[in-house]
Amino acid sequence: MTTLHSDPDSIYDVLGIGFGPSNLALAIALHEQGATPDAGGGFRVGFLERQARFGWHRGMLIDDATMQVSFLKDLVTMRDPTSDFSFLCYLRERGRLVDFLNQKTLFPLRIEFHDYFEWAAARVEHLVDYGSDVVSVKPVTEQGEVRWFDVVSRDPAAPEVTTVRRTRALCVASGLEPHLPPGAVRSERTWHTSELLPRVEQLRGSGAPVRRAVVLGAGQSAAEAVDYLHRSFPEAEICSVFAKYGYTPADDSPFANRIFDPEAVDLFHRAPAEVKRSLHDYHRSTNYSVVDMELIESLSHTMYREKVQGRQRLRMMNVSRIREVADDPEGMRVTVEFLPTGEREVLDCDLIVYATGYRPRGLGDHLGDIDKLCLRDEEDQLRVGRDHRVETAANVRAEIYLQGGTEHTHGLTSTLLSTTAVRAGEICSSLLADRARAAGSRG
């Protein structure tokens, strides 16, 4: 094992862990404030990303899927409408500004918005070290105070070499990880929706027959997977299994959408715990286990058309749960229970897709001992300030900021794109203010 240490005299002002849209937005905000990756160049910034290049939910970039938020909620516009990192500036550079405006829509194709992210990421790639998987973060103590963090990373392609970088602050945006039900195991024929496109391409390329596929889940990803599999395997039966009576439409009405306003974060953060829980429960339907009405209607029309034609390939197994999955050399068998009667049906299938969502990674999951430095509330949740900074023990001077995993303090927008630009601006301002105060105290 070889360990490379950065120069201890060239300490980073902030290191970002993860480089999805949230930390990309922060990188842009800091870049626009003159941040640099170099020692001695003012405010020193770096970002560490496990992937070899920028990528955001690549497994679900279905060709005709659209964004569920307005293009104006891009990486910068809500923070600074004049920034040249906006989606509109991207369109102008790509030569599609007029064409996009002629579409009369606020919701771009998902593949187009991903290309926008890649375009923006390329402009700040000097701040990012790709192929850097953070394996631990170690507190560095001087005179009884934790003043820095040593961030240990390695390249997945060369795991025998680790690199240590020292920083005054961290901004953790390690994203969400796919969630599977207890007992479910991924395999060549058992997937999570996060890997849908490459798995389908691989399966189609192999020529292996798909006679029946089962999709578990009732949210947007589930409905998109059902639709995509139905189109990709025109001879297969696609069974959608979920406990509801039907897909629930997303509540994107103007008043409900106020839960995503920047001002709503202020109110939520100050609210008592019981009010926070109520708001979360009231407005889950704006984001969780809901489906765009247009897709619901399209799937319904498909089912009816197939009934008329006498060959029904799209099958909605509602008010049902998967009770057992048997996978052996003879194939996969899924036992589905119809909940009102307890009646069970065994399906021979070639493919199971779990559209069962994502879960945030905890600080202690991959950052080691720094989790012990953080303060928690009476429900054992991290205490996080309005500026997205984790509250820490009194002897900790190094800072930890979170982008994600803060629904309990900042509301539903914690992991969503809706306030990404605003949140990045708030963290940027807090970081720069801290640095200015530190410089003033030294002077």
Q: Span 250-275, mean pLDDT?
A: 88
The yes-or-no verdict on residue 443 having pLDDT over 60 is no
Triad 384, 385, 389: Cα angle to 5° = 75
Best CA proximity match to 176, nearest among 429, 405, 426, 382: 405
* pLDDT at site 413: 83
The yes-or-no verdict on residue 323 having pLDDT over 90 is yes
Q: Span 191-205, mean pLDDT?
A: 95
Q: Where are the alpha helices (DSSP H) in 110-219?
A: 110-123, 196-206
**pLDDT averaged over every residue in the chain:** 92
Q: Span 389-418, mean pLDDT?
A: 92
Band the pLDDT of 282: cuts 50, 70, 90.
confident
Contact 25, 77 (CB under 8 A): no
* pLDDT at site 56: 93
Best CA proximity match to 424, nearest among 371, 388, 385: 388
Over the stretch 58-101, which tens digit does the pLDDT of each residue have? 999 999 999 989 999 999 999 999 999 999 999 999 999 999 99
Q: Span 199-216, mean pLDDT?
A: 94
Q: How far apart are CA 75 and CA 71, in angstroms?
A: 9
Tell me the angle at which helices 420-442 and 21-32 cross, rounded to the nearest 10 degrees: 50
Q: Span 1-13, mean pLDDT?
A: 68
Task: Write out the H or E segment, with its range, that includes residue 305.
Answer: helix 293-309
Over the stretch 212-245, which tens digit does the pLDDT of each residue have? 999 999 999 999 999 999 999 999 999 999 999 9
Q: How far apart are CA 382 and CA 374, in angstroms?
A: 7
Residue 149 corresponds to which tokens in the numbers above? 């963090």
Residue 208, helix vs strand vs coil: coil
| pTM for the whole structure | 0.93
* pLDDT at site 251: 84
What residues have CB less than 8 Å from 65, skipping those under 6 apart? 109, 110, 111, 224
The domains located in the chain, with CATH, are 2-175+361-442 (3.50.50.60), 178-250+288-354 (3.50.50.60)
Stretch among 107-111, 122-126, 160-164 having the lowest mean pLDDT: 160-164
The yes-or-no verdict on residue 9 having pLDDT over 70 is no
Best CA proximity match to 399, nearest among 163, 145, 176: 145
Residue 408 corresponds to which tokens in the numbers above? 């309990």
Residue 231, helix vs strand vs coil: helix
DSSP label of 291:
B
* pLDDT at site 8: 56
What residues have CB less than 8 Å from 335, skipping those under 6 apart? 322, 323, 324, 325, 326, 344, 345, 346, 347
DSSP label of 250:
P
Task: Write out the H or E segment, with its range, that includes residue 226.
Answer: helix 220-232
Over the stretch 285-296, which tens digit does the pLDDT of each residue have? 777 788 999 999
